[in-house]
Amino acid sequence: MRIAIIGSGYVGLVSGVCFAAKGNDVTCVDLRKDIVAQLNVGVPHIHERGLPELLKSVLASARFRATTDVHSSIETAEIALIAVGTPSENGAIDLNAVRQCARQIGAYLATSPHHLSVVVKSTVIAGTTDTMVRQELEHSSGKKLGAFGLGMNPEFLREGEAIEDFMEPDRIVLGHEDERTLVRLQELYAPWNCDKVRVNTRTAEMIKYANNAILATQISIVNEVANLCAAIGGVDALDVMRGVHLDKRWSPITSFGRLAPQILTYLVPGCGFGGSCLPKDVQALRTQGESLGLPMDMLNAVLDVNAAQSGQIVSTLERKFGTLSGRRTLVLGLSFKPDTDDVRESASIKIVRDLLRAEAQVKCYDPLAAENFKLAIGSAANRIQFSSDWRHEIEWAEIVIIATRAQEYGELTSLQVAGKTVFDARRLIDPAAVPTADYLTIGRRLN
């Protein structure tokens, strides 16, 4: 199948190379000439495990290319996927890029008899595709729906696992406003053997938001319970959650033994959720609800708990030390999760800002995200030392904070940490493995 993908960011590029790997002919569009040039020689501009190898493979097979020209990309395409960014503006999503894409595609359709299915893959609130996108296409083309197709196909990609998630999905949502687009989407996804949900575009849009809002709610309720456990004393929230996990509705018991679904990883105490999806999507859903006169009390609470959660680290350390002024502190992990360079809404930004306000001496380490972190934290970066080898910093540090759950930080148990304070904000290591250190975490009161 011939596909044009407008936008070669995280979603667009991963989708493009994966569709090409399945035998489709794919053209990715990006306005940035330097990005297009990079992609056409096999150099991705985003970090994602397995992406460089897959990009080189589909380029070699001549099934993938990049261009800056929207019209040339869609003149032979059967489907045009809109995969541009929808950044957050005061809690609402900014649809300007989606709107501009629809106008450009509509301008092409105005001069061509070609029937094209326009499918939104960007994350947009319910009611966007069948109103704003449709209106822009109809106005720019002078044609009505039917002369072109319209659909919505949300993505469910986890950063660091995006190639696997795309190639081995748990479900595919086929949102459509016309039968011809549904047929094309079914053909496009025919190689995938998984549940396929066929719905209208509004339902497809809402599935994406509901999915992320419910995941975020689980994280926030667990963190609120963890904070209560710490306040009560004599209770470890991780032990509490292990007991909760054994409920057969979370971990079904089968003839092969007990299952441990991945959803349980969202039911562990920590320092909050971040990234490009959960915070933005929960905020957008709340904003949409409030615009319709709904109070959205639950989503407000989810966001409030999450906003305050990273503050647990410094407040706990201040209860222990009295003051952090001058304390030598090493922060391990700057991205919002391991194996990515994405620092958007990362808890580490808040943790480091809190440490600097407390006048601690701060060193940071991350194998991928240091440069993005410097940009995100701005001028405060001048007060931070960024290390290229965290293991060599252990002797210097009085306090070590594990801020992301990267497995390499588990090596801390084999290093000399006697007399140091280890704050394991992600419950990565067993406290018994660092018996000579003062082990602190979220969800357990100081001894």
323 is in an annotated binding site: no
274 is in an annotated binding site: yes
- CA dihedral sign of residues 269, 338, 374, 87: negative
User: What is the pTM for the complete model shown?
Assistant: 0.92
199 neighbors 182 (Cβ within 8 angstroms):
no
Place of tokens 């190898």: 53
pLDDT number for residue 275: 85
CATH number of the structural domain spanning residue 220? 3.40.50.720
Backbone phi and psi for residue 414, each to the nearest 5 degrees, phi listed first: -100, 5
3-state secondary structure of 175: strand
The answer to whether residue 92 scores a pLDDT higher than 70 is yes
280 is in an annotated binding site: yes
For residue 145, tell me if it sits in a domain.
yes
> What CA–CA distance (Å, rounded) separates 348 from 363?
12
As given in the structure block, the two tokens for residue 204 are 């497809």
Mean pLDDT, residues 14-23 taken together: 97
pLDDT number for residue 447: 65
Q: Strands 92-93 and 88-89: what pairing?
A: antiparallel
**Confidence tier at 160 by pLDDT (50, 70, 90):** confident
pLDDT digits (tens, 9 = 90+) for 200-251: 999 999 999 999 999 999 999 999 999 999 999 999 999 999 999 999 999 9
For residue 110, tell me if it sits in a domain.
yes
158 is in an annotated binding site: yes
269 is in an annotated binding site: yes
Verify that 334 and 419 share a domain, yes or no: yes
Number of domains in the chain: 2
Residues recognised as catalytic = 277
Verify that 90 and 168 share a domain, yes or no: yes
Verify that 366 and 226 share a domain, yes or no: yes
**Confidence tier at 74 by pLDDT (50, 70, 90):** very high
For residue 149, tell me if it sits in a domain.
yes
pLDDT number for residue 446: 74
pLDDT number for residue 89: 87
pLDDT digits (tens, 9 = 90+) for 269-315: 999 999 888 999 999 999 999 999 999 999 999 999 999 999 999 99
23 is in an annotated binding site: no
422 is in an annotated binding site: no
For residue 15, tell me if it sits in a domain.
yes
Domain residues for 186?
2-199
Distances from the Cα of 148 to the Cα of 3, 108, 118, 317, angstroms: 15, 11, 7, 60
Verify that 105 and 226 share a domain, yes or no: no
Distances from the Cα of 276 to the Cα of 91, 239, 303, angstroms: 13, 30, 15
292 is in an annotated binding site: no
Q: Strands 399-402 and 421-424: what pairing?
A: parallel
For residue 249, tell me if it sits in a domain.
yes
Verify that 192 and 221 share a domain, yes or no: no
Q: Which residues contact 301 (CB under 8 A, 6 or more apart)?
A: 220
Verify that 155 and 222 share a domain, yes or no: no
